[in-house]
Structures are given as C-alpha cells and as structure tokens.
Structure 1
Amino acid sequence: MEYITNFIYAYLSTIGFAVLFNVPKSSFIKSGFAGGLGWVIYIFTKNLSGSIVGATFVASLVIAIIGEIFAIIDKNPITVYIIPGIIPLVPGFGLYNTMRSIVDRRFDLAANHGTEALLISVSIAGALVIVLSINSYRRQRQRLKQ
C-alpha cells in the first residue's frame, strides 16, 4: 500500500511540474508515469540496499530508459519525459538542510548534507548520461549502416 500511495503522490507532483515546464498536454500521463515509477523504484531500492545515492542512480536509469521509450513512441523530445520525471529525485531538502546548517554555523552537518546532495545530483546526471550515450551510440550505428 505504501508503494501505491507514493506512486500517486509522485505521479501528481510530476504532472504538476510538467504543467510548469509547458510539456505538451498529450505527454502529461506518460511523464507522470515516469516520475511515479521512478519514485517507487527509488523507495524500493533504498529499502533494499539502504543507499540513497545508489537508489537515486537506479531510479534515474529507469526514468531515462522510460523517457527514451516514450520519446521514440510519441516522437517527442526526451526532455519532455525526463525533466519532469526526475523532479521527485532532486535533493532539494538536502540542499535546504545544507544552507540551514551553514546559517546555524554547524559546518560539520553542512558538509554531511552538502556531500550527500552533491552525490545524489551526480548520480542523477551520471544515470542520464549513460542512457543518453547508449541511445546516441545506437543511432550513430544505424546511420552508418544506411
């Protein structure tokens, strides 16, 4: 039941950001699905492994793969699905805690929160780069065969 409610909340928040980013209306449902599924995979992987950074990496990989599939099916840019989809994974609370710790002059906590937020951001970027590079390589090979 926890996974279903988390999926619904992530789905709705992803659609909200899709509206903010002017995603085509026909892509709301699919971008919401990417964000919701990515969040559920994040929670499942975090519960399984205990690693926030690893869970974020796996969830970002899934979101990027789903975004690639939807982009090919709908003939839309992949950013239509990936950008709103990764919003639930962005470490906003970690960055907030970093800044709050700096203001409170608790630099040890600031370093911990900041490092975690940086690693989460790098894992999101790394996962997206891996999937996008594989797809780009695949497309280059198809062009050379023609």
Structure 2
Amino acid sequence: MELFKQFIFSFFATIGAAVLFSIPKDSIISAGAIGGFGWIIYTFILNQYSSAVAGTFFGALTVGILGELLARHFKKPATVFIIPGIIPLVPGAGMYYTMLALIEKRFYDSVNIGAETLFIAVAIAIGIVMSSSLSRSIKRVKNKSR
C-alpha cells in the first residue's frame, strides 16, 4: 500500500511538472506514469540496498527507457516524457540542506550532503544518457539489418 501511495504522489508531481512545461495534452498522463514508475524503482533500490545514488540511477534509467519507448509509440520527442519524468528524482532537498549547512557553518555536513547531492545529479544524467545511447544503438542495428 505504501508503494502505491508513493506512486500516486510521484504521478501527480510529474503531471504538475508536465503542465508547467506545457507538454502536449495527450502525453501528460503517460509522462505521469513514467515519473511514477521511476520513483517506484528508486524507492525499491533505496529500500533494498540503502543507496540513494544507485536508486536514482536505476530510476533515471527506467524513466529514460520508458520515455524513449513512448516517444516512438506516440511519435513525439523523448524529452516530452523524460523531462517531467525525472522531476521526482531531482535532489532538491539535498541542495537545500547543503546550503543550510553552509549558512550554519557546519562545513563537514555541507560537504557530505553536497557530495551525495552531486552524485545523485550525476546518476540522473548518466541514467538518461545510457538509455538514450541504448535506444540509438538499437535503432542503428535495426536500420543495418534492413
């Protein structure tokens, strides 16, 4: 039940971002579902392995792969699905707590929190790049076989 509740919250957060970014109306629900599935993968990995970075990487990879698949299905750019889909994974709280620790002169804490936030941001980028590269490689192989 907890995972379902988290899926719903991340689904609506993604829909909010999709509306904010003015994506086409027929793609809003699909983008919301992608964001929800990415968050569920993140939560599962975080609970199993206690690693926010690994969870974020696999969540972003899921968002990227699903975004590429739905982009082909609906004949739209993949960014229509991927950009709103990664919104639940963005480490906003980590950035906030890094700045708070700096202001409060807790430099050791700010370095620890900031490093983890940076790793999470890099994990998002690598997950999206890997899914895009995988999609292009598959497309290239299909075109060669024709």
Q: TM-score range by the shorter chain?
A: over 0.9
Task: Confirm whether residue 140 of structure 1 aligns to residue 140 of structure 2.
Answer: yes
Query: Which letter does structure 2 place at the counterpart of 1:89?
Result: L
Q: Kindly report which structure 2 residues correspond to 1:94-113, keeping only aligned pairs within 5 A, or say none.
A: 94-113=94-113
Report how far residue 40 of structure 1 moved: 1.2
Q: Kindly report which structure 2 residues correspond to 1:8-23, keeping only aligned pairs within 5 A, or say none.
A: 8-23=8-23
Percent identity reads 44
Query: Which letter does structure 1 place at the counterpart of 2:69?
Result: I
Task: Confirm whether residue 88 of structure 1 aligns to residue 88 of structure 2.
Answer: yes
Q: What is residue 78 of structure 1 aligned with on the other side?
A: 78
Q: Secondary structure at the match of 2:86?
A: helix
State how far apart, in whole Å, the 1-side matches of 2:84 and 2:55 are. 18
Report how far residue 34 of structure 1 moved: 0.3
Aligned residues: 146
State how far apart, in whole Å, the 2-side matches of 1:142 and 1:124 are. 27
State how far apart, in whole Å, the 2-side matches of 1:69 and 1:139 are. 12
State how far apart, in whole Å, the 1-side matches of 2:62 and 2:110 are. 30
Query: Which letter does structure 1 place at the counterpart of 2:104?
Result: D
Report how far residue 145 of structure 1 moved: 4.6
Query: Which letter does structure 1 place at the counterpart of 2:72?
Result: I
Give the TM-score normalised by the residue count of structure 1.
Answer: 0.96
State how far apart, in whole Å, the 1-side matches of 2:43 and 2:122 are. 18
Report how far residue 62 of structure 1 moved: 0.8
String of CA shifts for 1:60-118, please: whole Å, max 9, x gaps. Answer: 11111110110010001000110000000000000000011111111101001100000
Q: Which runs of 5+ in 1 are unaligned?
A: none
Q: What is residue 48 of structure 1 aligned with on the other side?
A: 48
Report how far residue 135 of structure 1 moved: 1.4
Give the TM-score normalised by the residue count of structure 2.
Answer: 0.96
Q: What is residue 58 of structure 2 aligned with on the other side?
A: 58
Q: Which runs of 5+ in 2 are unaligned?
A: none
Q: Secondary structure at the match of 1:105?
A: coil
State how far apart, in whole Å, the 2-side matches of 1:40 and 1:102 are. 32
Q: What is residue 130 of structure 1 aligned with on the other side?
A: 130
Q: What is residue 25 of structure 2 aligned with on the other side?
A: 25
State how far apart, in whole Å, the 2-side matches of 1:36 and 1:129 are. 20
Report how far residue 54 of structure 1 moved: 0.4
